[in-house]
Structure 1
Amino acid sequence: MSTSRYDQPETAGPRAGQHRAVTAVESAPLASDRRPTSGNIAILPKPGALFVDAVLAGGGQITDLDAETRAIVWLTSSEPERLEQILTTHPAIQWVQLPWAGVDAFSGLLKRCDRPQLLWTSAKGAYAQPVAEHALMLTLALLRRLPERLAATTWSHESTGESLYGLSVVIVGAGGIAVELLRLLAPFGVKTTVVRRSAEPLPGADRTVSTDDLDIALATADVVVLAAAMTDDTKHLIGQAQFAVMKSSAILVNIARGGLVDTGALVDALHSGAIAGAGVDVTDPEPLPDGHPLWSAPNVIITPHSADTPEMTAPLLAERLRRNVVAFLGDGSFAGVVDPQAGY
């Protein structure tokens, strides 16, 4: 997400325990030379009660930002320049916890502030359940032609719609969302292919291929779900060439980042019938401006980056924070470690 949520007053109603965190890779203790020195933790820009409780539950000590601060919990992406200034003027800080699963909003900052004794962690994997649920919802709605059904004002005598059972589903990305989506898809008996940087098999997938074989995988897909990180290498991963190899009956679902898709090419593909439909929770640009051609494209569902609401994610971020505070004070088994140069 590119907007601030957790530095605002907390709203009532998060259902703690409604979801659980999902990670693609289990955490392992960091090598001693990469492990941050434990110490005081500052929660910035504003310490919400839920996150204060999480730090305390993990055994951490919360203080105002000062020369003794060793870790920062950063709860917004709207002030990257302030975070950069803090890290520049407080070289003793050795761990920063970021609030989102994707860290593309911090990509420049991560590279500029990269230093040997600074560990970055994100919420990657923590929000996988609500986001995977949203991806499944968009998939089913598109297959059952809900956009045209919701727009109808008269009874149709034409039977349209497809079942998800037994279809070929390609998931681009192999993180927590992919892991959870594979679990949700299992009862439908679909044939699943995961596309990731390497061809290392992802448990639960029928087939795993590298991004070098993306176009080959797309040609077999009835459903394509984008769940990859947004980096320089993945910008416009899906464009005119990819829509050209996809089945005209295929649908595209994007619950990752809008920049993974060339929006102009998507609009063209929908209007020309190159693909059958698209469900997007993220767009490029975002927010999608009023009057943008994507709003009026056929068989499209657009949700306003709402796959995971604050009520869903706040308890999950709190649990990620508690867990990482335990790692900070213990053996360094941090969840969601970020590679500053790779950007995820």
Structure 2
Amino acid sequence: MPSLQHHALGGTALSVPDVCLGTMTFGEQTSEADAHAQLDYALAHGVNFFDTAEMYAVPARAETCGASEAIVGRWLRKQARDRVLIATKVAGPSRNLSWIRNGPPAMDRANIRAAIEGSLQRLQTDYVDLYQLHWPERNQPMFGQWQFEPGKERECTPIRAQLEALAELVKEGKVRAIGVSNEHPWGIMEFSRLAAEHGLPHIVSTQNAYNLLNRTYETSLTEVCHREQVSLLAYSPLAFGHLTGKYLTNPAAPGRLTQWPAFGQRYTKVNVAPAVAAYAELAKKHGLSLTQLALGFVRSRWFVASTIIGASSLEQLHETLPATLTPISPEIQAGIDAIHLQYTNPAP
């Protein structure tokens, strides 16, 4: 297996491998025994960066809320803590998650503090290496929505107040670094501006969807994040399984999208299937699986600090981890870009 590379998050001393193991299937599709086997396998192959969230497992429901963190925590207590990098997230309002802190009603100090205390307890650790705001509290398009709608404006916690709450956690040693997720350029700029103006912690990363079917990060965030020193943690590199090619031949193939049809609305758009077919043909031309093409592409991008991969089973991880390390030649990249110009961001 090729060697992993490491990148500093946001220009800080916090260095992460360019592959991260996501855990959102833990406690839903993935049993605890299999989850622990995945964590062991990843760590044995140099992946010591693990991402979770208080709302996981996914799809989110009251019965499994916090399950992923708890499963990771029971594994983490047996590890040398300084050998492992743990990232987790605080859930915000604007989604129907009434079982999390009664709402949660806001991304304010009380909710952020309650969230981190719960996460630390489930993870069985005194600190997390990266603490992320799971999605913005303010009105913005996300999770398959693609248009900003001013008419949906609502009251929300000011970004400065969110930063101040996070600063307390950093000062107390409960959080080493802070980041955001599902952010847009205005949010990145505001977090960066306010941190600089008020001596507050700078966000070091944003965790956004990025894959062959959704390269919107390139047109809206690459320059902003480069200049503001905010690293990309790329999630959904296989586009909910579409970029394995399994749905091309069998639309009813087992997977999250067939088990929970409403789960991936951004992948229901008209140009998804023809784009996937074109990428599959390109992969075949170069002697690669579509999975290798898709994962290798994301990892190869200069602005991606770490590619977050997930697996419902250890067997699946045996395929996806090596596939992520697939080198992408200039010829393959040219082929990818040609398809991208024909089917530009079919699943934004």
TM above 0.5, one fold? no
Q: TM-score, normalised by structure 1?
A: 0.32
With the length of structure 2 as denominator, give the TM-score of the two structures.
0.31
Tell me which of the two structures has the higher relative contact order, counting C-alpha pairs closer than 8 angstroms and 6 or more residues apart.
Answer: 1
Q: Which is helix-richer, 1 or 2?
A: 2
